[in-house]
């Protein structure tokens, strides 16, 4: 009798480890994850429908004039009627924001590496970077226009200046936060300063760099639109800043809302792309993305 019970207890794990059981587990896991995502997405979707429905109902019952407060249906109609111009404006602003963002990443990370390599250089230059950040961009925008001319060049420079300091400060904090024991270990093995920088300090600063990317990418969109207000050119290739200015001057409030919504969606798209990059870079080793990937 005891031998039969022991045989059955051994057979149970073997049956659970059969190919059929192993094939069913991943499917169940995927179903569970999908259900969890649906549960997390349901409350924001319901809130969105309630707000949009309440907005539409209020405007209809109150008889609001479209130039004062357009209905959501008016915004959709204005976006559809001006779809070609809106796409051109979005593409122009996106190009300027991407160029300014890439410039801020390259120069921000590069200057942070230079500052972190020497405490004397950091104490000498970093205060001026802070001063540059505290100056309102509208105060130096006319100088940028005089130097670089109106149009894309000046707008890219303005977007770069707005997104530059978050990249510089976050990267510098990350480089200066490297574990001293690891730096001593590299010194013990006679690693050169360049080897220590690119094989230890820069990889260790990657979470801080990613945090700077998430801030800078959205600021680049804001900088591009602000630059279009100040240094943009009109015509058929004007960006969202120019489209917003024209819509406000003509009291096309519904189209004004559509342009603002397009700018917001552009910033959200940038942020989501950088978040995907963050997950790809950090999901295999850093706790911030390990927890989210497990969830």
Query: What pLDDT was estimated at residue 288?
Result: 58
pTM: 0.80
| Distance separating alpha carbons of residues 271 and 277, to the nearest angstrom | 10
Query: What pLDDT was estimated at residue 13?
Result: 44
**165 with 133: CB under 8 angstroms?**
yes
Query: What pLDDT was estimated at residue 236?
Result: 59
Per-residue pLDDT of the chain (295 residues; tens, 9 = 90+): 444 444 444 444 434 444 444 444 555 667 777 777 777 778 888 888 999 999 989 998 888 888 888 999 999 999 999 999 899 999 999 999 999 999 999 999 999 999 999 889 889 899 888 888 888 888 888 888 888 888 888 999 999 999 999 999 999 999 998 888 998 898 898 889 899 999 999 988 999 999 999 999 999 999 999 888 887 766 557 889 889 988 988 889 999 999 999 999 999 999 999 988 888 888 766 665 555 555 4
CA 136 to chain centre: 23
| Distance separating alpha carbons of residues 292 and 210, to the nearest angstrom | 15
- Spell out the residues 6+ positions from residue 123 whose beta carbon is closer than 8 angstroms to its own: none
Query: What pLDDT was estimated at residue 164?
Result: 93
For CA atoms 146, 150, 153, 155, the dihedral sign is positive
CA-closest candidate to residue 46, choices 35, 38, 57, 56: 38
**158 with 220: CB under 8 angstroms?**
no
| Distance separating alpha carbons of residues 263 and 168, to the nearest angstrom | 25
Count the Cβ atoms, other than its own, within 10 Å of residue 49: 10
Query: What pLDDT was estimated at residue 145?
Result: 86
Query: What pLDDT was estimated at residue 264?
Result: 92
Query: What pLDDT was estimated at residue 265?
Result: 93
Q: Is 174 exposed, middle or buried (0-12, 13-18, 19+ CB in 10 A)?
A: buried
Domain extent listing, the chain: 2-62, 72-294
- Spell out the residues 6+ positions from residue 240 whose beta carbon is closer than 8 angstroms to its own: 89, 90, 92, 93, 224, 225, 228, 259, 262, 263, 266
| Distance separating alpha carbons of residues 82 and 238, to the nearest angstrom | 14
| Distance separating alpha carbons of residues 54 and 51, to the nearest angstrom | 5
Query: What pLDDT was estimated at residue 175?
Result: 93
- Spell out the residues 6+ positions from residue 245 whose beta carbon is closer than 8 angstroms to its own: 229
Q: Taking phi first (over 0 means left), then psi (-120 to 50 degrees means alpha), and beta for anything else, what does residue 70 get?
A: beta
Q: Which CATH superfamily is domain 72-294 in?
A: MetI-like (1.10.3720.10)
């Amino acid at each position: 009798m005891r031998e039969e019970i022991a045989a059955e207890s051994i057979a149970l794990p073997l049956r659970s480890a059969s190919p059929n059981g192993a094939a069913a587990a991943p499917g169940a896991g995927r179903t569970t994850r999908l259900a969890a995502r649906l549960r997390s997405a349901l409350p924001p979707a319901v809130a969105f429908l309630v707000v949009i429905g309440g907005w539409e109902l209020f405007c209809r019952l109150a008889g609001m004039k479209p130039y004062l407060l357009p209905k959501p249906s008016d915004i959709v109609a204005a976006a559809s009627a001006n779809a070609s111009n809106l796409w051109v404006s979005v593409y122009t602003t996106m190009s300027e924001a991407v160029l300014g963002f890439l410039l801020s990443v390259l120069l921000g990370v590069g200057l942070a590496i230079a500052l972190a390599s020497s405490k004397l250089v950091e104490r000498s230059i970093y205060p001026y970077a802070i001063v540059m950040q505290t100056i309102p961009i509208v105060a130096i925008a006319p100088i940028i226009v005089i130097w670089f001319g109106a149009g894309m060049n000046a707008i890219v420079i303005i977007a770069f200046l707005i997104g530059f300091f978050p990249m510089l400060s976050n990267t510098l904090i990350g480089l200066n936060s490297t574990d001293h024991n690891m730096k001593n270990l590299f010194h013990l093995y006679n690693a050169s300063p360049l080897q220590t920088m690119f094989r230890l300090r820069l990889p260790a600063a990657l979470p801080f760099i990613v945090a700077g990317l998430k801030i800078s990418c959205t600021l680049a969109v804001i900088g591009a639109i602000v630059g279009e207000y100040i240094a943009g050119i009109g015509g058929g290739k004007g960006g969202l800043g120019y489209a917003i200015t024209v819509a406000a001057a003509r009291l096309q409030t519904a189209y004004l809302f559509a342009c603002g919504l397009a700018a917001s969606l552009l910033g959200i798209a940038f942020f989501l792309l950088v978040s995907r990059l963050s997950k790809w870079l950090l999901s295999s080793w850093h706790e911030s993305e390990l927890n989210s990937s497990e969830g």
